[in-house]
Structure 1
Amino acid sequence: MKKKEDLSKLSVEDLQKQIVSATEAQAKLKLGHKVTPLENPIVIRNNRKAIARLNTELTKRQNQA
């Protein structure tokens, strides 16, 4: 996942695209983990936090506008 500095350089459209793709990946990870336990389940937590970072940056920009 990108760091805070990298997220601030992205456009709003790019942020929205990344949120959609990360959310889809999160759903696949969670479903896959229910069927067959993941080797590293921490990936689910890290992905959830990455989605939160993206949403935070998007909300910050929408409030500034």
Structure 2
Amino acid sequence: MKKEDFKELSDKELLERLDAAEKEYVQEKIQHSISPLDNPAKITLDRRNIARLKTEIRARELKINK
């Protein structure tokens, strides 16, 4: 997903997606350590999506506090 896509989501949806993305990321890391994945670049993409989600959540927190 792109940054613009995250801005359209509600706070609850962002938190749910963050939780799901983190769980998926951990599972992929474990799976990759056992046997190589077909597309190891997906791990990097997942990590970046997690960062985008956290950035959007933090931006909204700062916007509320202003």
TM over 0.5: yes
**Residues in 2 aligned to 1:43 and 1:19: alpha-carbon distance in whole angstroms:** 16
Deviation at 1:40, TM superposition (A): 1.1
Q: Which runs of 4+ in 1 moved over 4 A?
A: none
* Structure 2 match to 1:52: 51
Once residues 34 and 5 of structure 1 are traced to their aligned partners in structure 2, the CA distance between those partners, rounded to angstroms, is 33
Quote how far apart the aligned CAs of 1:47 are: 0.2
CA RMSD, aligned part only?
0.6
Q: Which residues in structure 2 correspond to 1:1-65 (within 5 Å)?
A: 2-65=1-64
Rounded Cα–Cα distance in structure 2 between residues aligned with 1:42 and 1:4: 19
Superposition deviation, residue 5 in structure 1: 1.5
Say how many residue pairs are matched. 64
TM-score by length of 1: 0.94
- Which AA in structure 2 matches 1:60? A
Report the alpha carbon displacement of residue 6 of structure 1 after superposing the two structures with TM: 1.3
CA distance in 2, matches of 1:9, 1:43: 24
Name structure 1 gaps, 5 residues minimum: none
Q: Which runs of 5+ in 2 are unaligned?
A: none
